[in-house]
């Protein structure tokens, strides 16, 4: 009979929280029951202290558990709609130069490219893929593949090292906008002020008697090119496609003026492509 009472008292003690135990100990009757339960626990050495009296969560802890269990795991893993970002594919030319372009294309990486670093990596790639470096015993297929790879690397370097070609390439690869084709001129109409600047530049080039006559135009035009590149940097960073298109069109005019100045010859006409 005593054994049954002790076992029952031990179960009661093990299911009560600390606060209830203190309240229960205020009565003489409960003190005797807890005393018997304590003796029973001491007589059970194989039970670890942590397993003797399991703690019952407080009301605050129970509410926290219910709140966490009621939330769906799928809802926790799904980001809010405004935080979702469209993952764009890596343009192939950028993938060829991981050392020079570790962040990839905009907007994750900058539009500006360190040209010296890019050229060093380009030369290393060419040394590995150029057909002249292929082993004499290599098969015709291997040499043909080396020639193809070399051509791709050349095109990639030429495109990325030129800010205008780079902008056109990014617009095409990232946003499916073609500003390099024959029909590109009909997509965006340049503003009248831009056209007036281009016509004035053409007259200066055609009327120049010496290269010194073109020095002022050269300096002004280089500033325009720098300004257009900064505009492209901001546009691609903010994914402002319309502004990127406008800046690319402006840059195309400024690059044509640069070419006209660099190729100037006395008495020779100049053609500034649009």
- Residue 129 is predicted with a pLDDT of 81
Quick: pLDDT tens for 79-138.
444 444 445 679 999 999 999 999 999 999 999 999 999 999 999 999 888 766 555 556
In a domain, 82, yes or no: no
CATH number at residue 223: 1.20.1280.20
* pLDDT of 132: 63
250: Cβ–Cβ under 8 A, 6 or more apart, which residues?
190, 194, 224, 228, 231
- Indicate whether 112 belongs to any domain: yes
Residue 239, phi-psi category: left (phi > 0), alpha (psi -120 to 50), beta (remainder): left
Rounded mean pLDDT of 261-269?
Answer: 78
Question: What is the pLDDT averaged over residues 215-240?
Answer: 97
In a domain, 70, yes or no: no
Looking at the structure, tell me whether residues 198 and 157 fall in a common domain: no
85 falls within a domain? no
Q: What is the mean pLDDT of the chain?
A: 75
User: Are residues 200 and 145 located together in one domain of the fold?
Assistant: no
Q: Is residue 86 part of a domain?
A: no
Asked if 210 and 255 sit in the same domain, the reply is yes
List the end-to-end C-alpha distance of the chain, in Å, as a whole number.
Answer: 107
Residue 71 domain-assigned? no
Q: How far apart are CA 188 and CA 126, in angstroms?
A: 37
Number of domains in the chain: 3
- Higher-pLDDT residue of 74 and 193 is 193
To the nearest 10 degrees (0 to 180), the angle between helices 163-175 and 215-237 is: 20
Domain boundary among 144, 161, 178: 161
Residue 78 lies in a domain: no
Per-residue pLDDT at 138: 64
Q: What is the pLDDT of residue 239?
A: 97
Least Cα distance to 252 among 135, 156, 171 occurs for 171
Residue 239 lies in a domain: yes
pTM above threshold 0.85: no
d(CA 178, CA 157): 20
- Confidence at residue 30, expressed as pLDDT on a 0 to 100 scale: 45
pLDDT band, very low/low/confident/very high, at 37 (cuts 50, 70, 90): very low
Of 10, 29, 57, which closes a domain?
A: 57
CATH of the domain at 146: 1.10.287.110
Q: State residue 157's pLDDT score.
A: 98
Residues 152 and 192 in one domain: no
Tell me the pLDDT band of 24, cut-offs 50, 70 and 90: very low
Structural domain that includes position 253: 187-262
């Amino acid at each position: 009979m005593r054994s049954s009472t002790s076992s029952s008292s031990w179960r009661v003690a093990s299911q009560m929280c600390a606060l209830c135990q203190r309240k229960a100990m205020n009565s003489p009757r409960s003190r005797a029951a807890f005393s018997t339960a304590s003796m029973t626990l001491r007589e059970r050495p194989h039970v670890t202290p942590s397993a003797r009296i399991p703690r019952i969560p407080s009301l605050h802890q129970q509410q926290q558990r219910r709140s966490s269990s009621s939330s769906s795991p799928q809802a926790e893993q799904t980001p809010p709609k405004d935080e979702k970002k469209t993952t764009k594919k890596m343009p192939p030319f950028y993938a060829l130069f991981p050392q020079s372009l570790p962040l990839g294309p905009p907007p994750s990486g900058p539009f500006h490219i360190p040209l010296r670093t890019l050229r060093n990596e380009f030369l290393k790639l060419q040394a590995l893929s150029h057909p002249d470096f292929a082993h004499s015993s290599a098969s015709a297929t291997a040499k043909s593949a080396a020639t193809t790879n070399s051509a791709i690397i050349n095109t990639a370097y030429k495109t990325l090292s030129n800010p205008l070609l780079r902008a056109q390439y990014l617009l095409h690869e990232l946003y499916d906008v073609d500003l390099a084709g024959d029909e590109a001129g009909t997509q965006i109409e340049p503003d009248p002020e831009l056209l007036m600047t281009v016509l004035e530049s053409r007259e200066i080039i055609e009327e120049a008697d010496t290269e010194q006559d073109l020095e002022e135009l050269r300096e002004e035009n280089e500033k325009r090119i720098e300004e257009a590149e900064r505009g492209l940097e901001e546009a691609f960073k903010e994914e402002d496609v319309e502004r990127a298109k406008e800046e690319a069109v402006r840059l195309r005019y400024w690059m044509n003026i640069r070419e006209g100045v660099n190729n100037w010859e006395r008495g020779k006409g100049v053609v500034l492509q649009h």
